[in-house]
Amino acid sequence: MDNKMDERLLRSEEHSGGNLGRRVWLESRKIWRVAFPGIISRVSAFGILVVTQAFIGHIDEVDLAAYALCQTIMLRFINGILLGMSSATETLCGQAFGARQYHMMGIYLQRSWIVNFVTATVLLPIFIFATPIFRLLGEDEAISKVAGTISLWFIPFIYNFIFSLTIQMYLQSQLKNAVVAWLSASTFLLHLALSWIFVYKLSLGVSGAMGSLSISSWLVVFGEFFYIFGGWCPDTWKGFTMAAFTDLWPVVKLSVSSGIMLCLELWYNSILLLVAGYMKNAEVAISAFSICLNISAWQFMLFLGFLSASSVRISNELGRGDAKAAKFSIKVIMGTSVLLGVLCFILCLVFGNKLGYLFTSSEEVAETVGDLSVLLAFTMLFNGIQPVLTGVAVGAGLQASVAVINLGCYYVIGIPFGVVLAYVADLEIKGIWIGMISGMAIQILVLGFMIWRTSWDEQVKNASERLQRWSLQPSEESNESLNHS
């Protein structure tokens, strides 16, 4: 479907006869058109990490704990920054699409590649010096040594974030992210096969599991390049252009505020996992906590689809100048997401005691996971609310405000409360988790209040001013083009 047909779908029967049921149905179609492919792609992409953890978990407990530290602390650290910085692409491309400034979308995409590439390269030493970093943090010596080897395998993986995250946001802003879903789902199945062959048939162990991770992640990126460069985005991709190197500073500022917003959120769990590493039985505590976090994070990937949908819908409507449509979209998507969150809550309560055995052969680790299942269920419930609120903020370009809220709720309240419960009240890993969900609950209340008080007419004005300030005329962009599709 081309852009004109997409626009007609977004505009169709916007104010149809005051029929609320009809309006909810139409808005739900628009939401699911973005959310469903986003859910498939994000669940599949994160599933690659979960599958890798599962294969490593059946090799050795020390390897599992080392992988958990690298993935949940280091990788999440980098992913938080790059995902957050990429949300600037989501804001700008979504508003540009709503305002029909299609020629700017490809330029915004290229600017995000430049900013994210520099950022990833600057942060690379974190993976190179993983062992001394974990030693400095006081982690177990055996785990720190193995983590130093595993962290090097993550280096090619983190560079795929530069392209995969931004391209997905670029495509979903113009309602073309179905191709990302197909690529991600196909690669997930391929990763299962590759991991089995490398780990069990070729007996490559941890190296085989990590090698399969790198291969699978980059296949998605190559498929996305083929789609964009092959001419399937004719209105928004005009080729590489020197215009991408102009006006970078405003993009950097929005990217940094976006990065802080999401990385504070993702680092939250990582810091709590680090705290778990100081407990008496560190291997069991880290392994069990990381398994629960990965289960929660995999479910969170589902609701990141709704984060994307809320961001795209809000940014599109603000770009079009329709504040009423933006507010109505928030109500519909929030209702849908909360219902799914309640369903996940119930399923976790029913099957929570069996989840640990999917990731480990250790009886002790699996039992610890089962003990945390009730707290995990509440986390899943909150995961059904928080991403939509964040997505609304991203769509409106309010990342800086959310960053301040995240800092206060997570780092002033959540982490200190969790540490006190873990070590003073002697609740150990349960205390850490209670602190985590307490911070989430307060964040949801504050974000909800902020969005309720937001003037959406004012946000329409802000979006219009932002687009006018950063936009180039099509003729200017064409003059600076290096290569046309």
Share of the chain above pLDDT 90, in %: 21
Instruction: Find the range with the poorest average confidence among 187-191, 233-237, 294-298, 441-445.
Output: 294-298
Give mean pLDDT, residues 420-432. Answer: 83
Q: What is the per-residue pLDDT across 32-52, written as a single tens digit (0 to 9) for each?
A: 888 888 888 888 888 898 889
Between residues 341 and 92, which one has the greater pLDDT? 341
Angle at which helices 76-98 and 386-396 pack, to 10 degrees?
A: 50
Instruction: Find the range with the poorest average confidence among 237-241, 413-417, 467-471.
Output: 467-471
Give mean pLDDT, residues 16-40. Answer: 81
Confidence category of residue 339, pLDDT binned at 50, 70, 90? very high
Confidence category of residue 185, pLDDT binned at 50, 70, 90? very high
Q: What is the per-residue pLDDT across 191-235, written as a single tens digit (0 to 9) for each?
A: 999 999 999 889 898 999 999 999 999 999 999 999 999 989 998
Share of the chain above pLDDT 70, in %: 86
Q: Enumerate residues 6+ apart whose C-beta is below 8 A from 283.
A: 61, 62, 65, 140, 143
pLDDT of residue 483: 45
Give mean pLDDT, residues 57-77. Answer: 83
Give mean pLDDT, residues 60-84. Answer: 83
Q: Which of 404, 392, 410 is nearest to 454 (CA)?
A: 392
**How many angstroms separate the CA atoms of 382 and 443, rounded?**
10
Between residues 227 and 101, which one has the greater pLDDT? 227
**How many angstroms separate the CA atoms of 339 and 24, rounded?**
15
Between residues 442 and 475, which one has the greater pLDDT? 442
**How many angstroms separate the CA atoms of 372 and 53, rounded?**
19
Confidence category of residue 13, pLDDT binned at 50, 70, 90? very low
The pLDDT of residue 64 is above 90: no
The pLDDT of residue 464 is above 50: yes
pLDDT of residue 21: 83
pLDDT of residue 224: 94
pLDDT of residue 463: 72
pLDDT of residue 212: 94
What is the chain's mean pLDDT, rounded? 82
pLDDT of residue 10: 43
The winner for highest mean pLDDT among 84-93, 216-225, 327-336, 449-458 is 216-225
Instruction: Find the range with the poorest average confidence among 43-52, 55-64, 259-268, 474-483.
Output: 474-483
Domain range summary for the chain, segments of one domain joined by +: 28-478
Instruction: Find the range with the poorest average confidence among 106-115, 354-363, 455-464.
Output: 354-363
